[in-house]
Amino acid sequence: MARTAVGYFADRGSADAAFGELLGLGFSRDEISIVGREEAERASATDADEHATAGSGAALGGLTGLLVGVAAMLVPGIGPLVAVGPITAALAGAVTGGVTGAVVGGLGGALIHAGVPEEDARYYEERFKQGGVLMTVQAPDDRSYRQALYVLSRHGADVRDADGASHVAAPAAIADTRPAAPPAVADTRPAAVERSLDDGPQHLELREEQLVPHKEVREVGEVRIRTEVEEVPARAEAEVSREQLRLQHIPVNEAVQDRVAPWEEDGAFMVPVYEEQLVLTKQLVLREYLRVERVPTTERRQFEEMVRRERLVVDDPDHAARINDAEGAAEHRREMEPAPPVQRSA
């Protein structure tokens, strides 16, 4: 999978050395992008002209030769800069608003368009504001990507690894990662027998070979870790309220002339109940009041619904990582056990 390696150089000499080594390793100029400030490139070219001899002329090489004569672009928040390589088109699009993303219109937007993660793009944009040279390398695969990162870091570039950590290393501080040469085998030929001048005792040297172990780092495989979304049942308990009607009969048995509409009294709804009774004459008697009030009750219910969560899936076909995830396996077994039945209230 194609990836983009990025390195920030505080000085031009280190960037020039890294550029030359990348070309020597087989990276083409079409895969390497260099971004520098216009005033710094102009000063570098002038200095090279002043130090050129009459016989050699003012021929410029390396990064200075690439960037001299390139039209400057005015980038918001940074100012005029010059660039060569694949990033030029993305940078021009970022200046004109053609590149969209979290960092719109700037060097960060161009880096995101080139495949650099957003967090790294923001980081390198801030570093470039301090000056220096920014170099990107388009690697066709992971091996070339790691090789490009190593070359950039070996020459003092500020590079960020897969975890987003920044590493700045001077050229002399980077250890040679080539496999160590096997230890030299001592000469095991039989030693000559030495005689003393007085024909005294003889001395014989005995030698043997011994195994000297050494370690070397080899790549035995790759481990891919990803997340999957799954649905699992979830339960929750909550208290809910509802209203019930409680009827209370209040006897009255009082004769009235007219009917009275229901009314509210002390939070209760009073409903009069009438009946006719046989007397010498018919009359309306208020027999009783019906007191109606709302009584809140509380009951516990269980709710069950499907929710989503992520679980860890490790693809390690070569068993290279030898991952011991006993806690995750126990959690998986608990999830596989059937859930207890839900008890519902009557």
Q: For 269-274, what is the mean pLDDT?
A: 90
Identify the CA nearest to 267 among candidates 240, 289, 298, 295. Answer: 295
Query: What per-residue confidence (pLDDT) applies to 22?
Result: 93
- DSSP string computed for 154-201: HTT-EEE-TT--EEE--GGGSPP-SPPPPPPPPP-SPPPPEE-TTS--
Give the pLDDT band of residue 60 (cuts 50, 70, 90). very low
Give the pLDDT band of residue 156 (cuts 50, 70, 90). very high
Cβ neighbours for 152, distance < 8 A, ≥ 6 positions apart = 5, 6, 7, 18, 135, 137, 159
In this predicted structure, the answer to whether residue 150 has a pLDDT above a threshold of 90 is: yes
Contact between residue 90 and residue 114 where contact means Cβ atoms under 8 Å apart: yes
In this predicted structure, the answer to whether residue 98 has a pLDDT above a threshold of 50 is: no
Angle 93-94-99 (CA atoms, 0-180°, nearest 5)? 80
In this predicted structure, the answer to whether residue 175 has a pLDDT above a threshold of 60 is: no
In this predicted structure, the answer to whether residue 149 has a pLDDT above a threshold of 90 is: yes
Query: What per-residue confidence (pLDDT) applies to 174?
Result: 37
Lowest mean pLDDT among 35-49, 238-252, 297-311: 35-49
- 297-310 pLDDT per residue, tens: 888 888 888 989 88
Contact between residue 232 and residue 240 where contact means Cβ atoms under 8 Å apart: no
Place of tokens 């009750």: 297
Q: For 197-220, what is the mean pLDDT?
A: 73
- pTM over 0.85? The answer is no
Query: What per-residue confidence (pLDDT) applies to 31?
Result: 92
Give the rounded percent of residues in the chain with a pLDDT score beyond 90.
Answer: 19
Contact between residue 133 and residue 41 where contact means Cβ atoms under 8 Å apart: no
Across the chain, what does the average pLDDT equal? 75
In this predicted structure, the answer to whether residue 166 has a pLDDT above a threshold of 50 is: yes
Burial class (CB in 10 A: 0-12, 13-18, 19+), 290: middle
The CA distance from 232 to 5, in Å, is 40
